Amino acid sequence: QAGWPGLIEAYRAYLPVTDSTPVVTLHEGNTPLIPLESIAQQIGRGVRVYAKFDGLNPTGSFKDRGMTMAISKAKEAGAQAVVCASTGNTSAAAAAYARRAGMRAFVIIPDGYVALGKLAQALMYGAEVIAIEDNFDVCMEIVRALSERYPVTLVNSVNPYRLEGQKTAAFEVVDELGDAPDWLFIPVGNAGNISAYWMGFCQYRQYGRCDRLPRMMGFQAAGSAPLLNNCPVAEPQTVATAIRIGNPANWERAIAVRDASQGAFDAVTDEDILHAYRLLGAEGVFCEPASATSVAGLLKVQARVPDEATVVCVLTGNGLKDPQSAIDHSKATLKKGITPNLESVAAALGF
Ligand code: F0G
């Protein structure tokens, strides 16, 4: 097969698949590790900063890594339908992979708190979408109960195959850097991805593919930071709707990752998140607000990062998912009403 075959084929030896697993793939993975020059320069002291831009996966988020595994294994087991709760990205990925595999996809979302692009994707891929007038945590309770009662496979990150797929992002980072980074900054919502990255780094080290293990720095939005406060948040709020989660499903696992990696959970304000979102934009990298949480986290604790350290910030989703946030929060002005001739346009541009 020419080109990148998708992550199951690329990392087959490290994944729980066999020759009889039907591989459902959109050739996800192999996303770029982009140096963030101006952010590194701002920090100084020889610190190297990279973005793992997982917003360049086929449906525009890291969820594709988990979904190629979860849907392939569901198909192998004979499932005909899958279900998930979602703040948007999981629903898009579940819908795309499930429909590709010929299954029904049921998605339960918090009404009014899913970015438009994500909703458009779920509908276009052919999911059956139910919008509930409550938050993600309630959607999660409903889908757990639904999957226990009815013949539908749950594909949220409590499905172990999701994390197996997502751990491959850590493999790719190591393959590119030659070792694990010293520090990894990552947005945390349901806490699946931080757990998956840690699995990946640990497994690669067991196989002798890296020496280091990174300090895992999980960042939540201040209005939605149960892990930092060690207490569920009943009514989480943040501009970063993707991580508007008050009771993460992978809570214990995430605490174990923090402890084993000598990392930390911390929170950044919506203002910090939007600042990082714009900084990334100005570096040519358009991610969604939740993703910018990792860079906001790095900027917050930069004084603690040692000289010459290698830092990776995970950018989980594509900026195109959420055009309204970009339009609302970019500092650029759209000039309208200019007379359509050379002089007026040149004058408006300040020439
Ligand atoms: N970033 C983005 C863009 C996300 O969509 C999510 C989670 C996260 C970060 C956090 O990852 O849950 O593994 O800690 N989105 C889920 C969803 C909840 O439904 O799309 P996590």
Q: How many Cα atoms sit within 13 Å of 347 on the Cβ side?
A: 8
**Are both 7-60+162-329 and 63-158 of the same fold?**
yes
Residue of the CA atom closest to atom 6 of ligand 1? 242
What is the CB neighbour count within 10 angstroms for residue 128?
A: 14
How long is the chain? Answer: 351
284-303 per-position pLDDT tens digit: 999 999 999 999 999 999 99
Q: Mind listing the pLDDT tens digit for each residue in 171-202?
A: 999 999 999 999 999 999 999 999 999 999 99
pLDDT above 70: residue 19: yes
Please report, as a single letter, which amino acid is at residue 271: E
Ligand 1 midpoint to CA 67 (Å): 13
Round the average pLDDT of the chain to a whole number and report it: 97
Q: What is the mean pLDDT of residues 18-27?
A: 98
Quick check: 246 pLDDT over 70?
yes
Q: Tell me: is residue 341 an annotated ligand-binding position.
A: no
| Contact (Cβ atoms closer than 8 angstroms) between residue 319 and residue 272 | no
End-to-end CA distance of the chain: 53
Q: From atom 4 of ligand 1, which residue's Cα is the shortest distance away? A: 242
- Centre of ligand 1 to C-alpha 11, Å, is 23
Separation of alpha carbons 234 and 222, rounded Å: 13
pLDDT at 1 over 80: no
How large is the average pLDDT for residues 322-331? 96
Binning pLDDT at 50, 70 and 90, where does residue 333 land? Answer: confident
In which element (H, E) is residue 83 found?
Answer: strand 81-85
- The DSSP letter of residue 306 is P
pLDDT at 81: 98
- On the question of pLDDT at 2 being above 90, the answer is no
Per the listing, tokens 């970019």 go with: 330
ipTM higher than the 0.90 cut? yes
CATH 3.40.190.10 is held by the domain 63-158: no
What fold characterizes domain 7-60+162-329? Rossmann fold (3.40.50)
The full set of domain ranges for the chain reads: 7-60+162-329, 63-158
Beta strands (DSSP E) in 100-253 are 104-110, 128-132, 153-154, 183-187, 215-221
**Ligand 1 mean position, distance from CA 191 (Å):** 8
Atom of ligand 1 lying closest to residue 287 CA: 3
Q: Please give the number of the atom of ligand 1 that sits closest to the Cα of 87.
A: 19
- Residues lining ligand 1, judged by CB closer than 6 Å? 61, 63, 86-90, 157, 187-193, 242-243, 288, 290-291, 316-317
Is residue 333 marked as binding? no
Q: What is the pTM of this model?
A: 0.97
Provide mean pLDDT across the span 22-45: 98
Q: Are 338 and 348 in contact (CB under 8 A)?
A: yes
